[in-house]
Chain A
């Protein structure tokens, strides 16, 4: 059967924040198979007009943030460029700078990799976006270690897997130093930033003078998306917002939130210091049946026969394009044990035999073909229903303390957000569960965040030497 479970409506959870508001971000993904390009409604993935339409729609819907991803090498399948998904996207900070000029309030989030960006340059570019947007910039910190991506860069694949968060912490330490360097009154001297051992490739220290003042929000907001224990600890120590994967099952989201809060408190911060925004999708219809029908159509369109064979072939480690997508999974086991990064970070390191075993069990239990199985797997994500039912579910998630908001991925560009803004937002507002106007001007204000971490303890002093900031300095 391919009917999705719609778990958001199911379990009851105690309301712990009866007046909490739902918040939205939008993730313009740019690379994936969930953006349907085959529909006549689908527009360009790269024209500025597509980005303009989505960001203007989101701002009309009072969204907190517009979010861009980053991938530094085109995905490949067994040495050939993957050709089934939307692909090709602009540099995030450059694109967001253009969008900053045509928007007034919405936050602008750039995903940037700590492994393959130079910290001084990255910190300066983020600060530039933050100043020009009047305090609306954010950085989604991602890490990678794979040498395959490194083939596009001067340094190549220089980083061990275990060092990637150490590098990320070092890059963030440099960035905080850059963002703290200017005196508040702009009258005294700009401090020099010095971070010992910031470059993990060499023993050289990193030292620089700074030219970028702070924006009205102090620092760009820090997002983090890693889900491993190491990633969660990094978020607990450094991030303002977690872009989580726990946006499908309320019980799972509650467990994740409790785990994150434990880690945040252990890191010496208030438990509510880190906001949680799972990635998710919304499908609405005028009736429950219409919504379900639309959701089924969306999932079928996302998983074309070629995409289904490619996704299964990726786990099996071989070309399955001659298989029947409406037939059963391969009878033999995968030929590789673990996946590399060639098909994106979400599947990196996956244990293929374990995945294959689970898929086979599910396919046999529910009598699913290859395509039905992939559709079934994709179906366990998102909110489907009438605008009112979806609004109720979203409100319940937020007021139960599972999440602070949702980062929505439209399944079609550029019209995919229209239903949310025209139908779900008003339903939420009727319930008193959504703002009716932007109250602040900065992203930090939209999200209800405190001051940047390094600007609390030191009482807005401008000291930047990372020696005085031991939690941000990597251990040698």
Chain B
């Protein structure tokens, strides 16, 4: 087996009680514990100690089950920022929707997360399909989610570059704190909104946070600029997940995530506490609330079985060369994470398939992604400015 140039990526979703819609019920976690700072810090610390590359924080404005205290959940960026000071190595990737929030706020919040986390920030750019969310914002439901996602990711990337790295000059002789020529109005005009810029927050430590998105969620850039760094793919079986990964990473596909690394979303139910995975899953499915808004079973690859089988599957995916890594979606965090940490991840590290992130490394460094040049820095010809002005769009109708 050849060792890949960058270690195989192992992400983990750390939201709530686990990814399965019945995780809270079956694990018997109270709503207060579910959202407690102690539980949050403990879970992400466990993931970091297990050598996990990055943690995602699944989120949505509305609860999974309306009216249920068991659906208690806190804002993802706020959670990620909190654990930025209780961890030192793991990447922190909150899920933030592109569909209704203000892109200017999203850009500032994520840049601030990256500052607090010293360059370990990422963004799982999601779309929101539920019409109830539009009502919570007092708006009409969005009609083209992929196009909206494209415009939002694009302007957020522009805003992250709107301060050049050396904009703060502290020139005592002239009294100037910043060089205004290194601060840029982004003058973005999308299909449904426009943003003037620059951002209120300086350029994040990584330059650009790592952007993750489900393959197909973000429409291709009109500027031929890669918008997504890591594409999340799934499929009913390994062959189809590998095919989806090849499609997402294929440079010729013309998709916005064409240059992306492909990471397979993998639902995990392990044998644990003397109970086989199949029995655990049956119990969870039987306890699942009706009508829950959930991504469980929505298209990710699934593994239910023992730890050696999962290690073998991960080894197979790593050896295939199609896949940069996996994001593990544990059915029940408090059961499956300890099993992963004890029985699965050490074997992968021992085989040098994976490596725990180094304390102090940025998420880009951990993933082998370069720190990008600033699109507004005239010393680099990134092509982005020209492309933007070459493709003017209809004025926003706010």
On A, residues with C-beta under 8 Å from B are 37-38, 45-48, 70-74, 80-91, 93-95, 97-102, 116-118, 120-121, 124-125, 127-129, 131-134, 151-156, 158, 182-183, 186-192, 198-199, 201-202, 204-213, 304-307
Contact = CB atoms under 8 A, between A and B. Distances in A.
A132 B77 CA distance: 12
B264 interface: no
Nearest to B196: A151
Given A37-B177, A98-B116, A121 B69 contact: no
B61 interface: yes
B102 A131 contact: no
A210 B63 contact: yes
A404 B79 CA distance: 33
Interface of B: 30-32, 35-37, 40-41, 61-63, 66-69, 71-75, 77-79, 81-86, 100-105, 108-109, 111-113, 115-118, 132, 135-139, 163, 167-168, 170, 172, 174-180, 183, 192-198, 200-202, 396, 398
B81 A95 contact: yes
Contacts of A213: 31-32, 35, 69, 72
Given A98-B116, A207-B135, A128 B200 contact: no
A85 B177 contact: yes
9 contacts: A72-B200, A88-B202, A98-B82, A118-B102, A131-B35, A131-B37, A153-B104, A199-B138, A306-B175
Contacts of B172: 38
B42 to A, nearest CB: 13
A81 B180 contact: yes
B67 A190 contact: yes
B178 A101 contact: no
Nearest to A202: B138
Contacts, number: 231
A91 B178 contact: no
A205 B138 CA distance: 6
Contact of A204 (B83, B84, B138): B138
A90 B121 CA distance: 14
A198 B396 CA distance: 23
Contact of A91 (B101, B109, B197, B198): B109
A404 B212 CA distance: 48
B178 A83 contact: yes
Contacts of B74: 124, 127-128, 131-132, 211-212
Nearest to B107: A91
A128 B80 CA distance: 11
A121 B32 CA distance: 20
A144 B262 CA distance: 44
A273 to B, nearest CB: 29
A134 B74 CA distance: 13
Nearest to B162: A74
Contacts of A212: 35, 72-75
A429 B354 CA distance: 56
A325 to B, nearest CB: 10
Contacts of A182: 31, 69, 72
Given A118-B102, A210-B63, A154 B398 contact: yes
A73 B123 CA distance: 23
Nearest to B59: A211
Given A84-B176, A186-B69, A206-B135, A94 B78 contact: yes
Find the residue from A97, A98, A129, A205 having the highest chain B CB count within 10 A: A97
Given A80-B180, A131-B37, A190-B63, A211 B72 contact: yes
Contacts of A209: 62-63, 66-67, 132, 136
Contacts of A128: 74-75, 78-79
B102 A83 contact: no
Contacts of B194: 151, 156
Contacts of B72: 182, 211-213
Contacts of B170: 37-38
A404 B28 CA distance: 45
B221 to A, nearest CB: 20
A152 B195 contact: yes
A124 B78 CA distance: 10
Contact of A84 (B102, B163, B175): B175
A240 B81 CA distance: 27
Contact of A207 (B30, B136, B177): B136
Contacts of A132: 37, 40, 74, 78-79, 82
A285 B315 CA distance: 68
A206 to B, nearest CB: 5
Contacts of A93: 78, 109
Given A101-B84, A153-B102, A46 B177 contact: no
A197 B138 CA distance: 9
B63 to A, nearest CB: 4
Given A306-B174, A307-B175, A97 B81 contact: yes
Contacts of A199: 138
Contacts of B115: 46-48, 90, 95
A336 B12 CA distance: 58
Nearest to A94: B112
Contacts of A189: 67-69
B116 A90 contact: yes
Contact of A190 (B69, B78, B79, B81): B69
A133 B40 CA distance: 12
Contacts of A155: 398
A81 B179 CA distance: 9
A128 B57 CA distance: 14
A190 B68 contact: yes
Contacts of A127: 74
Contacts of B36: 131
Contacts of A202: 138-139
B67 A186 contact: no
Q: Which 6 A-B pairs have the closest CB atoms?
A: A306-B175, A199-B138, A208-B136, A90-B112, A97-B81, A98-B116
A91 B85 contact: no
Given A90-B108, A152-B196, A209-B136, 18 more contacts: A45-B168, A46-B115, A71-B200, A74-B183, A83-B177, A83-B179, A84-B175, A90-B116, A95-B115, A101-B86, A117-B105, A118-B101, A118-B137, A153-B193, A189-B69, A190-B67, A211-B71, A212-B72
Nearest to A117: B105
